Amino acid sequence: MSDASPYRGPGSLSNIPRSPFLIWLNLALTLIVAAIGFGLGFAQGLRAQIVILYTVISTAVLFWLLNYVAVIFESRQFGEPREAAPGVLPVTAVRSVWAGNRILIVAMAALLIAYLVILASVPEFRTVSNLLAFLLVEAILVFAFKVSRAFAHRRSAFIGLIVLVALIVISSFTIEGFLSAANIRAVLLFASFLGIACVGQTLVALLGGLDLSIPFVIGASNIGLLYLIGLGVPPWLALLMVLVIGGAIGFLNGVLSYRLQGQALIVTLGTGFATAGLVQILTSIGSAFSGNVFGTVPGWLQNLAAMNGRTFGLAIPPTIILWIVIAIVVIVGLRYSAYGRYIYALGGNRRSARLTGVSEFKYWTLAYTISGVFAAVTGSLLLGWSGGGFIGVGDQYLFTTLAAVVIGGTSLMGGHGGYGYTVIGVLVLQVLSAFLIGIGLKYEWQQFIFGLLILPMVALYGRAAHIRSQV
């Protein structure tokens, strides 16, 4: 960035206003805020190192923010930063700034108001770390809005990542021990369960379908596996049988919904319902405790998924490694294999793909079969995690798999997206969930917030064209 260029684009990150007055003004403002934070920190009785560290970080961030704002104003030849009486500015210029950054300004103002309101009403909220978190979130907002224009193609993934970073920042400041190894391991473990369950949902969504049988297959494989083990079948054989049956259910889903693609949602819901019922009937026959299955989970399965599981001596549950491997295979496979390319071709334009000789039936059923297999894998892993069979173990996956796919940015109409996006969506959901648990919200509030979160996320990139432009 040379100072020779008269205009600095909004995307540039190293911003120093040309006018010395602005620099000094910004520095003064920054120092005042930092001093307030410094005083607050000591008043709170934190350790000196922490206060100093926070003060330094907040000073740097605030200085960068103010300079950024100043440069935007300066480059449009206002001569004064926003802090200095905007009333004297020419009306047209204000209007153009407003038009260019409408959403950003509204979002920042809303955040500021929210912060001030909470600050005024909750005395415990007046801490250095909260101030810092607030400033960081404002910085992330500016960054997201200014840089996302460079990512027109992968906008959803970019927004997802920004949200993820913002969530991690906020959580680590507000929740004690959020970045501890144990918590990260827990978040990743639950993310891997959800992520493995989402493999099939992503593939099916890429084809323009939906699979709502996943939670039922998870629950059914969960109790089915334990039942088979309880019958005396060798655990590895039982696992294999469960996976094959899961695949068979998926195949059935695919065959049944092939002619009813608009209603794949309802078909899979029906098969899932029937599957869960049938498996419960079968496992209840001859048992005095209907609906409950008892048995011993083999040690290797427990080690595979339990929180204290070890991979080759490392203190990481093998499920996380498994998820990473699966994610790499699926992402690479979708990108480079013929199978993956054909899925995108079919999702993008059914008719042209068929005319180039891609068998629609084959890929449709295959995607559903894979979905069934991975749902069964998740169910089996959850058995290892919990150590006891329970049909309702998959219930929360009914909508979280969908939500993860949608938040990641895979279009439910098919043809756009991929498993990489879903991974981001899964992480966002899990970190958000951990954050909500951390601040003491109950499960029902979490569900409420998840529900409200999906809409704006989809609205950011998943909007359909107006009917006027479709005619």
Partner 1 sequence: MSGPRGAQNTYLLVPILLMAVLLSTAVIRGPSLVSLSGFGSAIIVAAPLVLATYSLMALAIAGRGTVDLAVGPLLAFINVTIVKLNGLDLVTSPLAVFVLALGIGVIYQVLFALIIIFVRVQPIIVALSGFLALSGINLVILPRPGGVAPEWMAAWGLGNTIFSPVLLIVLVATAGWVLFTFTSFYANLRMMGYDERAAFTSGVRINLVRIGAHVLAGLFVGLGAICYTALIASGDPTQGTTMTLTSVTALVLGGVSLSGGRGSVAGSLLGALNLFLIGYVLATFNFGAVQAFVTQFFYGLILVLSLLLTLLVPVIGRYVFFISPFSAFIVLGCIVAGIMLHVSTAGSFAPAPAGEQASAAASDLLKRYLLLPPSEPAGGGGLLTLTPLQQTLIGLAAAAALFTFTLRMMVAEALSARVGAFLYVFVSALILLLLFVVAEQSHAASSVGHSDVLGAVP
**Phi/psi of residue 165, nearest 5 degrees:** -60, -45
Binding mask 205-244 for partner 1 (x = CB under 8 A): -----x----------------------------------
Cβ nearer to partner 1, comparing 46 with 458? 458
Q: Does 256 bind partner 1 (CB under 8 A)?
A: yes
Minimum distance, C-beta of residue 429 to partner 1, in the bound complex (Å):
11
Cβ nearer to partner 1, comparing 79 with 291? 291
Cβ nearer to partner 1, comparing 213 with 319? 213
Contact with partner 1 (CB under 8 A) among 189, 203, 276, 375:
276
- Among the listed ranges 186-194, 217-225, 271-279, 346-354, the one in contact with partner 1 (CB under 8 A) is 271-279
- Among the listed ranges 121-129, 141-149, 314-322, 406-414, the one in contact with partner 1 (CB under 8 A) is 406-414
> Which candidate, 12, 3, 56, 6, places its Cα nearest to that of 34?
56
Q: Does 404 bind partner 1 (CB under 8 A)?
A: no
Q: Is the dihedral of CA 413, 416, 418, 421 positive or negative?
A: negative
C-alpha R_g of the chain: 26
Residues 333, 307: Cα–Cα separation, whole Å: 29
Contact with partner 1 (CB under 8 A) among 129, 148, 174, 284:
284
Cβ nearer to partner 1, comparing 438 with 462? 462
Residues 31, 322: Cα–Cα separation, whole Å: 49
Binding mask 170-209 for partner 1 (x = CB under 8 A): ----------------------------------------
Cβ nearer to partner 1, comparing 48 with 464? 464
- Please check whether residue 233 is in contact with residue 242, taking contact to mean a CB–CB distance below 8 angstroms: no
Cβ nearer to partner 1, comparing 153 with 468? 468
Q: Does 277 bind partner 1 (CB under 8 A)?
A: yes
Cβ nearer to partner 1, comparing 126 with 155? 155
Q: Does 458 bind partner 1 (CB under 8 A)?
A: yes
- Among the listed ranges 102-110, 266-274, 330-338, 421-429, the one in contact with partner 1 (CB under 8 A) is 266-274
Contact with partner 1 (CB under 8 A) among 70, 191, 269, 353:
269
Cβ nearer to partner 1, comparing 64 with 450? 450
- Among the listed ranges 52-60, 100-108, 379-387, 461-469, the one in contact with partner 1 (CB under 8 A) is 461-469
Q: Does 468 bind partner 1 (CB under 8 A)?
A: yes
Residues 239, 237: Cα–Cα separation, whole Å: 5
- Please check whether residue 347 is in contact with residue 206, taking contact to mean a CB–CB distance below 8 angstroms: yes
Q: How many residues bind partner 1 (CB under 8 A)?
A: 55
Q: Does 452 bind partner 1 (CB under 8 A)?
A: yes
Q: Which residues bind partner 1 (CB under 8 A)?
A: 210, 256, 259-260, 262-263, 265-267, 269-278, 280-281, 284-285, 290-291, 399, 402-403, 406, 412-413, 442-452, 454-455, 458-459, 462-468, 470-471
